[in-house]
Structure 1
Amino acid sequence: MSSTKAISASLKSVDAKKESLRKAFEDLQSHSSSLASFTLQWKDLEDHFDSIQKSLEHRFKELEAKEAQVSAKGSAPKQSPPEKDKSADKPSPHLPAKKPDEPERSPRPELKSLCVSMDGMGLRSYIIEHRKELPFVKDELAGALRTASDPATLVLDAMQGFFPPNSKGDKDGELASIRRTCILLLEQSAAISPEIRPHVKEKAKNLAHEWKGKVSKGGENPLEALGFLQLLATYGLGSAFNADELLDLVATVARRRQAVDLCRAIGFSDKIPDFIEKLKNNGKHLEAVKFVFAFELVDKFPPVPLLKAHVKASKKVAQEIRKKGNDSIQAQNEASAKEIAALKAVIKYIEDHKLESEYPRESLDKRIEQMEKQKSDRKRPAATPAQKPQSQQQQTGNKRPRPAVPAPPRTLAAATSVPSIQQAQLQQPSLLQDRFTPYLSSTAGPYGLASPSTVTPYMSSTGGLYGLAGNSSFGANLSPTRSSYPYVSESRPASGLYDRSTGFGGYGLPSQYRQSFYP
């Protein structure tokens, strides 16, 4: 029993997880303009998700029934299942017939109440508000619509706001939810085939003409074209519009699961050969294959050449993506993902329609494996070089090499390794050099300083601050050794150190040179 409870809890969390997936998908779809072609739609994922969920729920009910029988130990008499409504099993001319394991669910009271009161806008709002429970609401919707006095009018009233003013199209998440709900209502209305009175059909026709002028022609907002075509199919309005123009709209939603059923419902069966040619000419080979099999035109349009053309076109699209992205890692990954998706779609057709003898899939599998390996290699971090010895790192890794053995503290007088260019610049005649000529020794070292033999000791008893001599030499030792007065208390400066009357700014210059600096 504990395992049954765990399964039940997992099934209850499916809706929340699917809602999170939907939000993530819509966020991804909002960036689809940066991709070469983004044809996958949330509806496709949702349908696949719903089919898996229904299958799991059906098996779970069977498991519960078996556990109940085991716990009862055969004491309770087995009840015969209730007789199903035969009208629910009748196939619709517009939608695929329900599977035997998908009986129509009894509508919940609030859903039924909205239909009985003919509240179209309230019905639409209820579905949007309960979209987390959409699989269950969808199963109950057909039964709820049957309780309405005029289902055709009820659904038509719910179409308000499908094209609001100043809309952002399908990229607007709230508007996209409204449009999906409207399409769902139109589909469920077509499934029950309600009576459509003449004035209701005329109202739907006027609405269809209004929508036609607003539908995007380039396929940028596929929900617009899908809603318009579903409106025509539900209310039987296909003959009121130009067939070629409608087929152009069908081409923009050809990958949608509803495309084939819409063509049948609107009455395009006799125009499908021309439509397949149009898809081929527009480079939509995979969509053409879909209609070839749906309308059994394999003899007229062999599917294998179309599949091979799709593989070739996918490679070309991948090359264009790489070129446009300057062959960056992001562009390479995007191109590989596009090509892998195309190859997997071709493989699915090969498997579903038993085309292995005509089109072996080994080359496709190898190509997919090769691209996936390349993607995996691009994700791996670059190998770090082996650690070099410390001395070698100092010689090659640093901009300014340092000696391996620390040198003793340097003095300005001992600094002899000065670049020649720097020496030339520093030793050029200047005003300072002229003014400090008395302080420069004839045996001066670099920077015009006295040689080590003539440098006055740092902080000597006869020197000024920084070891500047009070008479004939300008000596300095800015880096004294540890033996040269490490503590201030060992040697005090002359009494005139901070006396401006006896020194230039406290630097101990003789009085005869003060006038030249302060005219």
Structure 2
Amino acid sequence: MGSIPDPGDISGGLNPPSFDDFQKQTSLMTSCTLLWKELSDHFTSLEKNLQKKSEALKNKFQTLDHHTKESLGVLKKREVTIDGSVEIALGKVEESREAALIALLKGTQDGEVDDSEGLLLKLKSFCLKMDSKEFWRFITARKKELDVLRAQTPEALAECVDPAKFVLEAISEVFPVDKRVEKSERSNDLGWACVLVLESLIPVVVDPVLGKSRLLVTPSVKERAKDIAETWKASLDQRGGIENVKTPDVHTFLQHLVTFGIVKEEDVDLYRKLVVGSAWRKQMPKLAVSLGLGDKMADMIEELVNRGQQVDAVHFTYEVGLVDKFPPVPLLKAFLKDSKKAATSILEDPNNSGRAVVCLASIHPD
């Protein structure tokens, strides 16, 4: 009989694991470990990203909540101040009634105006009667009294039942389109009168409580002002384009936008070109800021310098506080240098010797 194998003997019939098997097992364990680490890092990264996004959302919600509370606060303030504004307006109505009686007693429509008080009464008389045509005729006939008109027109406009509508009707003869049949060289440019009246309207329509953040202009008048602005823009081609449009027309248009609070963000490039093209007007720097061009002012100043308009550039730098970036002294020296070159060039031309003397005299007034 053969021998019976020992059931406890495990070596019988089985090959012991080889070194290659151990290496395979080790490699497999290493791969699993690396994979686990990679997965662990991935999930850790996901967790961090989720935390960041959660924090970002939390901050956005907090910001939104803050803005909502702020907006509600502003709305509440506007609502609360309505009664105060109405009371002030009613007080002005009573004052206007008394002023109307005085104007009717003292002033006559065809009477002569020989002093500032008489001029004010005359203006108030037109405003109280909402006679925009006579008001406009009266204003345009007194360009020599511009300083007095600038001081008294706001007070007179305050007597109007609807000052904003009154102003639009007053300047409608020449803005947005000149409707005059008869024109003369002497009275052709009435841009100064348009700007005067539009500037004078601002303190009248500003809310007495909230200030410029709320203009006392009816929705219908504001829509009409917007239509007028669009009409003017549409007529640019007829005026010769942006490069050839007259400065008084540009000034009136830009002041119209600021006065009625109808500046459009999509038209900022147009405003920029118009301002640069008429930069020599002393009101342009302030208008540029009111038109929302503050962040473009550095580029505009650079453009003016490149155009040889250093003096205009200096005015703009002071308005927006860029004196450090554009020091005025070097700019003015460059202007004098360019002027001397121009004068010398003209002086060398025998046909323009008179112009050269004028140029040199302006550079060296002594």
TM range (shorter): 0.5 to 0.7
C-alpha separation in 1, matches of 2:138 and 2:246: 24
Q: Counterpart in 2 of 1:440?
A: none
Q: Does 1:137 align with 2:149?
A: yes
1:125 is displaced (CA, Å) by: 0.5
What are the within-5 Å matches in structure 2 for residues 312-391 of structure 1?
A: 312-322=337-347, 326-328=349-351, 331-341=352-362, 343=363, 368-369=365-366
C-alpha separation in 1, matches of 2:118 and 2:202: 19
Provide the secondary structure at the position in 2 that maps to 1:126.
helix
Gaps of 5+ in 2: 1-91, 93-115, 207-215
Q: Counterpart in 2 of 1:469?
A: none
Q: For residues 422-453 of structure 1, what are the alpha-carbon distances to aligned partners after superposition, in whole Å with 9 as ceiling and x for unaligned?
A: xxxxxxxxxxxxxxxxxxxxxxxxxxxxxxxx
Provide the secondary structure at the position in 2 that maps to 1:301.
coil
Contact 1:233 1:266 in 2 (8 A): yes
1:299 is displaced (CA, Å) by: 1.6
Provide the secondary structure at the position in 2 that maps to 1:174.
coil
Contact 1:318 1:339 in 2 (8 A): yes
2:284 aligned to 249, 256, 259, which one? 259
Q: Counterpart in 2 of 1:121?
A: 133
Q: Does 1:164 align with 2:178?
A: yes
Contact 1:105 1:140 in 2 (8 A): no
C-alpha separation in 2, matches of 1:240 and 1:114: 36
Contact 2:222 2:260 in 1 (8 A): yes
2:203 aligned to 185, 191, 195, which one? 191
Provide the secondary structure at the position in 2 that maps to 1:118.
coil
C-alpha separation in 2, matches of 1:158 and 1:240: 28
Q: For residues 268-315 of structure 1, what are the alpha-carbon distances to aligned partners after superposition, in whole Å with 9 as ceiling and x for unaligned?
A: 222211111121122211111111122111221122221122112212
Q: Counterpart in 1 of 2:38?
A: none
Contact 1:128 1:181 in 2 (8 A): yes
Cα separation, partners in 2 of 1:251 and 1:167, compared to 1, 3 Å: farther
Q: Does 1:227 align with 2:252?
A: yes
| Corresponding letter in the other structure for 1:164 | D
Contact 2:258 2:291 in 1 (8 A): yes
C-alpha separation in 2, matches of 1:113 and 1:227: 25
Q: For residues 448-491 of structure 1, what are the alpha-carbon distances to aligned partners after superposition, in whole Å with 9 as ceiling and x for unaligned?
A: xxxxxxxxxxxxxxxxxxxxxxxxxxxxxxxxxxxxxxxxxxxx
Give the % identical residues: 32
1:321 is displaced (CA, Å) by: 3.5
More helix by share: 2
Cα separation, partners in 2 of 1:338 and 1:123, compared to 1, 3 Å: same
User: Normalising by the residue count of structure 2, what TM-score does the alignment of the two structures yield?
Assistant: 0.58
Q: Counterpart in 2 of 1:282?
A: 307
Contact 1:106 1:140 in 2 (8 A): no
| Corresponding letter in the other structure for 1:159 | I
1:295 aligned to 308, 317, 320, which one? 320
Q: Counterpart in 1 of 2:76?
A: none
1:254 is displaced (CA, Å) by: 1.5
1:161 is displaced (CA, Å) by: 2.6
1:130 is displaced (CA, Å) by: 3.8
C-alpha separation in 2, matches of 1:294 and 1:168: 40
Gaps of 5+ in 1: 1-86, 88-103, 344-366, 370-519
Cα separation, partners in 2 of 1:284 and 1:130, compared to 1, 3 Å: closer
1:123 is displaced (CA, Å) by: 1.0
Contact 1:107 1:141 in 2 (8 A): no
| Corresponding letter in the other structure for 2:132 | G
C-alpha separation in 1, matches of 2:170 and 2:297: 32
Equivalenced residues, count:
237
C-alpha separation in 1, matches of 2:278 and 2:182: 19
Task: Pick 1 or 2: higher relative contact order, CA cutoff 8 A, min separation 6.
Answer: 2
User: Normalising by the residue count of structure 1, what TM-score does the alignment of the two structures yield?
Assistant: 0.42
Q: Counterpart in 2 of 1:149?
A: 161
* Greater C-alpha Rg: 1
